[in-house]
Amino acid sequence: MGQNGLTVSKGAAAGELYRELERRFQLQTVAAQFKEQPLQIIKVADLDQLLEGVSDADRIPFWAELWPAALGLTRFIADNAHLVAGRSVLELGAGVGLAGIAARLAGADLLQTDYLEEALRFIRVNSLRNGLPEPRLLLADWRAFPEIGRFDLVLGADILYEKTLHDALIVVIEKTVKPDGLVWLADPGREAAVEFILRMIERGWSLSQTQTPVNHENKLLSIDIYQLRPGRNRE
């Protein structure tokens, strides 16, 4: 075993993937952590540069950034690892993969999904570079989401910003969460997130909400963590 648990084969695969991405993108490595374990996450260095020339709204590369909500969800997973260990977990809009990596380190049986293939490549390289086996990945559009069964826990970090996708996301969540399951959604405080959560409550979901502090680019931010359960809201 090498540094951070990398075997020679994992390290070689991660290196090959990294070089492939480096040919296409300007990359940046960001330090993160899961509990006391340091993590190195690769992302696109300049999102604005990547946005140049994108004319299709469906192709906007929001996946390429490590957003504060992902840091908040990662910390929440670390603080609640006992609720994740041994559970089947689905991550929606996984981006560069940090929150899902945290779930795997906590012992989850995880499936990570995103709309764009580039995101899945970053998830794969970040998983391998941090000592994990090959991730389970699925390219999926919420508006035509495949039947993949139900999960104990569904995760999402900063996936509520686009109101036009709320209807599709509700359908995805309601068909992928077990009747006794949980949904954890992390958000930096967007109005659209509040509207989504209120719609879920109207549909009979119960809500527990907390906040998690994160340090992002030397700024202390507070991330909303919405915990949803199927069933009537008893509050």
In the predicted structure, residue 6 carries a pLDDT above the cut 70: no
User: What is the β-pairing status of strands 88-92 and 151-157?
Assistant: parallel
**Are 205 and 173 spatial neighbours (Cβ–Cβ below 8 Å)?**
no
DSSP H stretches of helix in the chain:
8-24, 47-51, 68-79, 98-105, 117-129, 166-176, 191-202
Q: Is 11 helix (H, G, I), strand (E, B) or coil?
A: helix
| Model pTM score | 0.91
Q: Max CA-CA distance within the chain?
A: 53
Domains of the chain (ranges plus CATH)? Answer: 3-229 (3.40.50.150)
Report the pLDDT averaged over residues 125-146.
96
Q: What span, in angstroms and rounded, lies between the C-alpha atoms of 167 and 144?
A: 12
pLDDT tens readout for residues 172-225:
999 999 999 999 999 999 999 999 999 999 999 999 999 999 998 888 999 999
Average pLDDT, the chain: 92
Q: Which residue has the higher pLDDT, 58 or 120?
A: 120
Tokens read off for 39: 């993590």
**85 Cβ neighbours under 8 A, 6+ residues apart:** 106, 107, 108
Backbone angles phi, psi at 159, to 5 degrees: -115, 10
pLDDT tens readout for residues 117-128:
999 999 999 999
